[in-house]
Amino acid sequence: MSPGSHASLLLARAVIASVFLWHGVPKAFNIAAAMNKFARFGLPPVLGPITGWVEVIAASMLLLGLFHSAAALSLLAVIIGALVTVQIPGGVSAGLERDLLILTGLTLLAFTGPGRFALSAKNLQAPIQQEIRLTAER
């Protein structure tokens, strides 16, 4: 993978994580408002703060490149839920277009990995393994 590809994956992770943090933090920390919002959509109110915490935790993991597949899949579940329950019933709108772009980006990240600029176990193990090889060769 080229250096530009790694930088592009980092940019995608940062933008997508920022969107989820922007929408997730208010739901996670303002429980009453999140419950009211979900009730207005005809959803169980308890899903509001739960969704908020999933967004905050998974977006943070995605941004850092930790457990990126689990993070991307968790956020895919959230965005599919938003599409099915809110965006698609609302018709074509900027929210629908945004969520479709997020869905596409998360799908890409779920199948390509976080890239070199991540704190994934694979990226952290490579320098250690190289040092072990160099030490063994001496």
Q: Which pLDDT does position 25 carry in this prediction?
A: 98
| pLDDT tens string 32-67 | 999 999 999 999 999 999 999 999 999 999 999 999
More confident position, 135 or 79: 79
How far, CA to CA in Å, does 127 sit from each of 51, 54, 121, 123, 132?
A: 36, 32, 11, 8, 9
What distances in angstroms separate CA 98 from CA 16, 79, 105, one per listed residue?
Answer: 10, 10, 11
> Which pLDDT belongs to residue 125?
57
What confidence score (pLDDT) does residue 131 get?
A: 47
pLDDT digits (tens, 9 = 90+) for 106-123: 999 999 989 888 987 676
E strand or H helix that includes residue 72: helix 68-82
Local confidence band at 135 (pLDDT 50, 70, 90 cut-offs): low
Q: Is the pLDDT of residue 20 over 50?
A: yes
What is the pLDDT at residue 132?
47
**Token pair listed for 80:** 């599919």
- Structure confidence at residue 113 (pLDDT): 87
Q: For position 2, what pLDDT does the model report? A: 82
Taking the C-alpha atoms of residue 103 and residue 85, their distance in angstroms, rounded to an integer, is 15
Instruction: Please give the model's pTM, rounded to 2 decimal places.
Output: 0.84
